Structure 1
Amino acid sequence: MTSNAKEIYKGKIKSIDGALRTIKSNDFIIAAMAGSEPIPLLEELHRIRDYGVRGCELSNCLPMKDYEFIKNPEYADTIFTAGWFYSPVMRKAHSTGNVSFAPQHLHNSFTKRLYARDDRRLVLLCTCASMDKHGYLSLSLGTTYERQAIEEGAYVIAVVNPNLPRTFGDTLVHISEIDIVVESSYELPTLPEVPINEKDRIIGNYIAEMVEDGSTIQLGIGGIPNAVAEALKIKKHLGIHTEMFTDGMVDLIQWGAVDNSHKTIYRGQTVATFALGSQRLYDFIDDNPSVVFRYGKWTNNPYIIGQNHKMVSINTSLEVDLFGQCASESIGPMQFSGTGGQTDTAVGAQNSPEGKSFIALYSTTTVKNEAGGRSTISKIVPMLKQGAAVSLSRNDVDYVVTEHGIVRLRGRSIKERVERLISIAHPDFRDELKFQAKQHGIW
C-alpha cells in the first residue's frame, strides 16, 4: 500500500457520530442494499434528528434489520423512507406512514434524474472490504446501484469491514472517491437455509427437465429456486448470469454442473449484481475472480440478458390469473416484496436464442378467513385481487409451473391460456375456475 493512499485513508476516518453529523437537512440518502447495508450507520441514523436535521428522504432495498428510523413514526419528519423491494421490516413499518414503496425495474433502479429532485445532495451510505496496497477498496457484496451513485457525484460514507469478502468487477472503489470512512468489524448478515419440501421438488424437477445442457441460468432464493438448483446438478456446462448470487449457485458450481464454458458473455465467469446468503457463500466469493459483479443496469438490462444463448429465467409469483398476469409483489394493494428483476430477466430470457422464462408457484395457499380460522385458496385465479400490482404482464409471460404441471402461455390465445392454467391448478378448484371463466366472459 502506498504511503499516500494510507495517509488519505487515515485522514478520512471518522466515528459513527462524526459521520452522521455530515448529513444535512433535505439530503437524498441512498442506502446500499441487502447484505451491503452499512448496519452500524443505519442503526444510529435516527440520531440525526437530534442534530436538527429535517426533510431527508432515504432510498433502500431489502433492509436486513428493524431500524429505528424505519419503524418509528417519530422520525418521519427527518427521514422518509422509499423502498423499492420490501423485506419483512418494510412490510411491518408500512402502516406507520413514514415508509412507502417505489415501483421500478432493477435495471433502472438508479439514474441521477430519478433522485436529483430540487437539487438535493446525494449521500451514499455503503460498505467496503478493506483497502488493498494500491488504495482500492471493494464494494464487496454488490454493486446494483452503489457504484453508479459514486460516479454520479454522491457524498460517500463507507463503513469498512474486514469481514466483508473482496470481490471483482464494478465493485472496485479508490479511496479518493470516498469522503468518510467508518471502521467496524460487525458480523455479516446471513440468510437462514430454506428447507425444500415435496412441492418444491416436483416443481424443481419440472423446470430442470426443460433446461438444456449449456444453458445460462438466473435463479432467486427460496424453496422453489433451491429445489431447481438441486435438480440441475446432473446438467452439464451450465452458465450463470443472474441478479442475485445465492448458495444454490455455489452448490451448482461445486457439483460441476456450472462451468460457464458455453456462455456468450463473460465466458468462464459467473456474473451477478449482488450476493446474499450464508457465510459459506461469502467465503466462496472472497478473492474469487471467477465471480464478477456488474452494475445492475447492465446485468439486468433485457438486451444484455438476451445475448446469452439458451438463457433461462426462473422466478416465483404470489398469484397468476387466467389471462397470464402475474402478481408477484403484492397481495391486493398490500405491498409484499417488489418488482426487482422479474420483468428484466423474464423479457431478457425470451429475447435469447432458445431462451425460456419460468414463473413458478404453488397451486394453493392457506389464508385467514373471516371466522378467524384458516382456509385453502387457489393461487391460480380468474382475476387478480383488486389492487394487485402486475409484476409481469400477460404479454411477457412464457411458462407457468405448479406442482400439478407446466404449461407454456407465450403466443397462446386467452382461450388456450385459460385451459392450460386450469390444467395445472389444484384439482379442487378447477371446476370453479371453469365456471368463473365463462361467467366473466374470459373465454
Structure 2
Amino acid sequence: MRLVVLGGGESGVGTAILGKKKGYEVFLSDFGKIKNNYKEVLILNQIPWEEETHTEDLILNADVVMKSPGIPDKSPIVKKLKEKNIPIISEIEFANKFTNVVTVGITGSNGKTTTTMLTHHLLKQGGLNVGLAGNIGKSYAWQIAENKFEAYVLELSSFQLDGVIDYKPHIAVITNISPDHLDRYNYDYSQYIEAKFRITKNQTEDDYLIYDADDEAITDWLSKNKIRAKKVPFSLTKTLEEGAYIKDDTIYTNINNETFIMPINELSLEGKHNVKNAMAATTVAQLMRIRKATIRESLSDFQGVEHRLEKVLKIQNVQYVNDSKATNVNATFFALDSMTTPTVWIVGGVDKGNDYAELMPLVREKVKAIVCLGVDNSKIIEAFGNVVDVMVETTSMTEAVKIAQKMAEKGDTVLLSPACASFDLFESYEDRGKQFKNAVQSL
C-alpha cells in the first residue's frame, strides 16, 4: 500500500511515521518549505520527502492520500487526485484505523482550544491516562504510533472533519458555530455548518453529542437533521432536565441523574464564554465518571490558554491583553464583551470574509481608539471609521504597541484581538502573540 502525505507539518509528519510503522510505503510532499526539525525526523525514520514542489509521478500513484488540514480542496494537486478517485483522508481518519481508544472530539468556531485543554485537565486530574491531540500539541497519528494513552481529547477543526469517513468520537462537543473560514467553503455558511456536524455523523446510540443549546446555527441544524447520539445540551438561558445550565450564578450539570454544582465565581477562567467552555468540559468529565471533588478542584485551578485573553503586563496602570488567538469576528466579540475598562483595540490581518457589523454595539460602548495592524485595513476603516475618535494604521507590532501606549490612559486596557488571520505580517497567531508580548515587555 502506498501512502502519500501532503504537507510536512505536525499532522503530515505524524501520519508518515505511523504509516511507516504499519508497513505502508510512504512518501511525503510539501509545496512549501519543511521546517528543519521535521526534516530531521523524516530523515531519521528513512521516509522519502520533497519540498517546494509536488512531483505528480510520485503522488498520483498513491493508494491513499493524507492531506494536511491547511491545504485547500482547490489546490491543483488535490483536484488531480480527485479526478483519479484516489481516496483523500485526514490525519484523524488515518490514525483512527490503528486504535480502539476512547476519544472525546471537540469542535466549534471558538472556544475549542480552551474547552479541549480544560477537558484534558479534568480527565487527567481524575486519574485517566489521557492524551491531547488534533489541532493542538503533538499529532494524533504520532501519539498512536507511540501508543502511550488509553483515551484522547482531540481538538478538531472543520478542515480535519472534512477528511473524516469512519472516525467517530465516543463523546463529541460542538462549542458554537459562527461564520469562519468561509473562503474555504465557497463563502457558503451552510457548507461550513455541515462540516462541523460531521463530528457526529458516525456516532451511535451509545455515544454522546454535547452542544450549546443557545446557539442558533446548532439548534437550527439539529431541528432539521436526525442524529443517533444522545444529545446533552448546555445553556446560559434555559433550565435543562438533562445537561448543564445556570441558576443563581451557579453551574448545574445533570447527567444520568447525577447533579454537579459549581458557583461561577469559583471558576479560574473569567467571562461568559468560559462559563460555557467549563460546562462542556464538566459534562464530558461526568460522562467519563470523574469524581465531583476532582472536577471542582480542576475547574478552579486551570491555567488558561496562551494567546487567548492572556494578561501580559500592567504598565502605568494600563493592562495589556494578548488575544492573538482571536482569528475571527466571533472570538473578538467575546474579548470585547469581557472588557470592563475603556479599550484601545489592536485589530487586523488577513480578512476571511469578516462581517464587522455584530461588533458595532461593543465598539461604541467600549473602544476609545483603534490601531489597525494589517497590510490591507480598508474594511476595518470602513466599518469603524465614524465610530471611534482615533484610528491609526500600522504595519509592525512594535509600532502598533507604541502607538497604543500613547493613546491609553490610566485605567485603560490595550487589547490585541485581531479578528483576522495572521499570515500577512506574521508566521502564525502564536508568532503574532509572542511579538505582542515582546513589544509590551520592551515598552
Indicate whether the TM-score tops 0.5: no
- More helix, by proportion: 2
Q: TM-score, normalised by structure 1?
A: 0.29
Q: TM-score, normalised by structure 2?
A: 0.29
Q: Using CA pairs under 8 Å that are at least 6 residues apart, name the structure with larger relative contact order, 1 or 2.
A: 1
